[in-house]
Structure 1
């Protein structure tokens, strides 16, 4: 009987494992990113900065969510910024590019 070892034991073909792992990671990233974007306000215009406590200029995911929220609103993207005089304030916001 010419059977592959894994198939004879009823096991799973491990060649599909990397593909499955990639799909799981991609879906988790999409869900996480969608949750961030959903928390951003959508009633702002291009060239405007709106207060957003979730925005953190040092965090890549927060900047990407800000950019996505601005893009979905018709702008060329956006970036998290600190609000206040000279950009040294403690409040944070999302600035949408024109």
Structure 2
């Protein structure tokens, strides 16, 4: 293996670690915002929660788990104005 190959591998490893760290920080911030407001069987309004986004669903589930529930899932909430907001429902 040449020097440039070793440097490329080191750079790739550094980028992967940085990307994983950024994802963890973002997800942790989301969980921290909503974890204290959850109760089991309750849906808390959480605009960052997206039912179609698996990472948002994992964060919702984590927030519910930290509150002593068996997990959770992002849901759309109907509103009186006819639109829908988002929430995290804990089981």
TM-score, with structure 1 as normaliser: 0.69
Question: Is 1:42 aligned to residue 33 of structure 2?
Answer: no
Contact 1:63–1:80 (Cα < 8 Å) also in 2: yes
1:5–1:19 CA distance, 2 compared to 1 (3 A): closer
Question: Is 1:22 aligned to residue 16 of structure 2?
Answer: yes
Richer in helix (by share): 2
Match of 1:67 in 2: 61
Structure 2: which 5+ residue stretches go unaligned? none
TM-score, with structure 2 as normaliser: 0.74
**Which segment is superposed worse, 11-20 or 44-53?**
11-20
Q: Secondary structure at the match of 1:42?
A: helix
Contact 1:82–1:89 (Cα < 8 Å) also in 2: no
Give the alignment's Cα RMSD to 1 decimal: 2.7
